[in-house]
Structure 1
Amino acid sequence: MPSTVVVGGFFGDEGKGKIISYLAQNDNPSIVVRGGAGPNAGHTIEDGNKKYKVRMLPSGFLNKKARLMIGPGVVVHPDVLHKEIEEFGTAQRSFVDNNCGIIEKTHTDADGGGRLKEKIGSTGSGTGPANADRAMRTLKMAKEIPSLKPYLIDVAQELHTALDAEENVLVEGTQGTFLSLWHGTYPFVTSKDVTASGICADIGLGPKNVDDVMVVFKSYVTRVGTGTLQGELPMDEVAKRGWSEIGTVTGRQRRAAEFDFALAKRAVMLNSATQIALTKLDVLFPECAHKNSFEDLSAAAKKFITDIEDKTDVAVMLIGTGPGVTDIIDLRE
């Protein structure tokens, strides 16, 4: 009954797409299933000379044997989903729960301006308004949409059938801990809870059926849009350090700060993390680029990792040393 839940530890943009893509190919899960808010979350995956941007399907699609599922807690934009299924050639192994909510034009229109766009910094994807309608019990369900009929499935049942057969299941979270509606920097948050508990609820996985919770941290902190960012650096300093980044969905410049140990410790607490994945070590320590062995890391990089482990009391098990899926150090047994 091996299941691993992967969630973001900061404000999204931690590199979850890379970590999930690696786990999907290395651990060979039979199912990769996505929880989270909706297509307001974007994951970027680099595989060789190809770069993929994903908003609806799980990031584990590069494992061609894995079934890709979207849990009932996720709101789905059919056009975005169809485009990704066609682009990635996953029609035979993509599935949507019957009870996924549906984003319609009224939702994207409501999300494209006004308070959500101007004050909160919404992505304009329609996710927040759709989740609001779901809370009001007026939202359409996936089972009402003819174009989704070939993909409809009972995700929770499929997950538990796989776990009973002792197959690997990989659970993909979106956004980051401090964008959670409950635990984040309200009101500058997403439209639901995106901690490990919320992601599991989205897909129908109970607490006793979770083996590991992996929290993903980037080697520095970034945030798109408005909201608190402790220790925020001026944009010229961000550029000088080589930390300049653009949001996958929004195309906006990400704000940045140095790694926040206190925030990391709280994320570990809120998610009951059993493992940490650390990404972009090569950006902080360029001499570590493309390394695949912990022993080959510089003394400064090793100390940084040890400090994270000491201050969070959780082991760093995966270390990203470059943008590619294989630029990784795997310290798991």
Structure 2
Amino acid sequence: MEYILKDKKSKKVIILLLLLDIMLIAAFLLPGLTPKNFHFFMPRRITKILAVIIVSYGIGYSSLIFQTVTNNHILTPSVMGLDSLYLFIQTFIIFVAGSQTLSQMIGYKHFIICVGLMIFAACILFLLLFRGSSKNVYFLILTGMIMGSLFNGMATFMQVLLDPNEFAVLQGRMFASFNNINSNLVGISILIIILVCIISVKDLPYLDVLLLGPENAISLGVDYKKLILKTLIICAVLVSVSTALVGPITFLGILIVNLARHMLGTYSHRSLSFGTTFLGILFLTGGLLVTERIFKFETTMSVIINFIGGIYFLYLMLKERKR
């Protein structure tokens, strides 16, 4: 009976979030449109909203399943060092070939290089992890954090040696931006997201069982090792696509996943995946409205999201400490 009540509550919250998303999207798309400027502004605004949906699902769902795998509500896929690798790739390109080369790589080439290298690095890490029987998920986290620190250190070293003008170009890639998105890349990203959805939807019941712990999941017939490896690869793909499309947003995942858990009051990954996606759309669309209509592009949206997410992260840390 209690589960049924919680399920009804989660459905109501999801519907409410969806309605709020529709209202915010309409508030972003429609104001200021006239018959003369419609064909100029509307395609650009739609591209931004599509990117918001892609990033919301990519970061939200990857953070949700990563926390399930690690059995920790504070960790996110960023501990695997993929954000640091993205920053290192941008810095390395400018350091070796100059900012002009990076500026020219705005299409498929740059996207494929970033996504390919991030997925390749993650897969190498996972294969090394699962080759030995004594290694576990916590070994992955430790290795990912070390690799992330390594990439950050190398990127910082090269940034110090850069010309100030080239560093200014690099700085534009260090923060998430929805203003210069290639519409062709949005199409590829949507195809990748749909493919990941189809592959991962079968695993949602198994992820629910995984919340009982590895031993209980194995005793109930879950192929633990295969599920963990598959889930981590999906995490790597989603984070890589989202980061390569708009740039890194560090605290978005931890913010929307934990808020979704609190608001929905359920452990069902099916419900939580909808909740995290809709919350992500709510925060990102709201962030676009604030940065464009209120701050007039004087600040970036990632600064606002990371500020709110950072405060919430500190709240979670203090909350866990009191337990």
* TM-score (norm: length of structure 1): 0.24
User: Which structure: larger Rg?
Assistant: 2
Instruction: Select the structure with the greater relative contact order (CA < 8 A; seq sep ≥ 6).
Output: 2
Q: Whose helix proportion is higher, 1 or 2?
A: 2
TM-score, normalization by structure 2: 0.24
